[in-house]
Amino acid sequence: MSLEIVLITGMSGSGKSVALHALEDAGYYCVDNLPPELLSAFVELEHGRHSNKVAIAMDARSAGGLPHLPGQLERLQRQGVVPHLVFLDATTGTLVRRFSETRRRHPLSQGPVAEGRRALVQDIENERELLGDLREKSHVIDTSHLRSSQLQSYIKELIAAPVGQMTLVFQSFGFKHGLPSDSDYVFDVRMLPNPHYEPQLRPLTGLDAPVAEFLRQQPGVDQMRRDIQQFLESWLDMMASNHRSYVTVAIGCTGGQHRSVFLVEELARHFAPRWPTLCRHRSLDSRPTLKPADLLAHDF
């Protein structure tokens, strides 16, 4: 029986407990805060004992063992076990707000909970540096603007992707909401004609047929699509040969509602026959007005 391993790491306060709950709901045997030096021994022990699906969370609480993790991962790969590596991240400002709202101590903090914003920011930056190498090896999800339900959906989509084959993640976003920090490549399409200025199209999105038809008729839109396709087609094989598990391509327009959504759908449709492909629409997913309780602040 083959063993599926999902390794969840990331910044404290980024939503790792939410991710573990999603994996538990999906039938994974979940373990939180496993010391990194015990990873391969734990996997060997649990193989066939509880489930063929295991999810493990690690973070800065296990800082002393993190240098052992690359060797542990190499050992698993030699045994034919290739884990999904997922790194949850968020902006420093978002993490400060989450810790402040919940009154929880940062794992690297040496002082009282009420030690002040400056000390908390320093703890977060220290953790970011500590986990930097691990972030580079993982698929990154920026949870800064995600609700718990969105993060759970993202996690379940990722684990459905085949292990050992590179997955393309296309995501649309709006520049007015900020750049997504979890992207490998970002393409700016704000120079293209904007359906927002067509009254009948303004309330619609790039998923709707009238918007798609409008954009297909506009000069430059098809050229932009072909240029992005050509760039990716030129380099994807080399990325895959470099043992990349995921490549995230972000397409941004002003609000993330029309142009970027349309192009993400077109690109995903083009590449899906050859590569496992996922679509995300960050601005569309977050369009409903959110109450503080809807966000991840209370769920990490």
pTM of the model as a whole? 0.80
Q: Are residues 153 and 263 in the same domain?
A: no
Q: How many CB atoms lie within 10 A of CB 196?
A: 17
35 pLDDT tier (thresholds 50, 70, 90): confident
Q: Are residues 195 and 255 in the same domain?
A: yes
The sheet with strand 29-32 has its strands ordered as 29-32, 53-57, 4-10, 84-89, 139-142
Q: Are residues 127 and 15 in the same domain?
A: yes
Euclidean distance between CA atoms 205 and 257, whole angstroms = 5
Q: Are residues 265 and 296 in the same domain?
A: yes
Q: Are residues 202 and 225 in the same domain?
A: yes
Q: Are residues 231 and 97 in the same domain?
A: no
Q: Are residues 26 and 170 in the same domain?
A: no
**Average pLDDT score over residue span 141-153:** 90
Binding-site positions for GTP read: 59-62
Q: Are residues 36 and 123 in the same domain?
A: yes
For the ranges 120-124, 149-153, 163-167, the lowest mean pLDDT is seen at 163-167
How confident is the model at residue 289, as a pLDDT?
36
The encoded tokens of residue 240 equal: 């895959």
Q: Are residues 40 and 153 in the same domain?
A: yes
Binding-site positions for ATP read: 10-17
- Domain boundary (160, 194, 220) is at 160
Q: Are residues 198 and 113 in the same domain?
A: no
CA distances from 142 to 11, 85, 97, 145 (A): 10, 14, 15, 8
Binding-site positions read: 10-17, 59-62
Q: Are residues 35 and 138 in the same domain?
A: yes
- Domain boundary (130, 160, 190) is at 160
- Domain boundary (108, 127, 160) is at 160
How confident is the model at residue 119, as a pLDDT?
86
**Average pLDDT score over residue span 22-32:** 91
Q: Are residues 154 and 172 in the same domain?
A: no
At residue 252, does pLDDT exceed 80?
yes
How many domains is the chain partitioned into structurally? 2
At residue 288, does pLDDT exceed 50?
no
**174 Cα distance to chain centroid:** 17
Give the residue numbers spanning the domain of 264: 166-300
The CATH number given to whatever domain includes residue 49 is: 3.40.50.300
% of the chain surpassing 90 pLDDT: 51
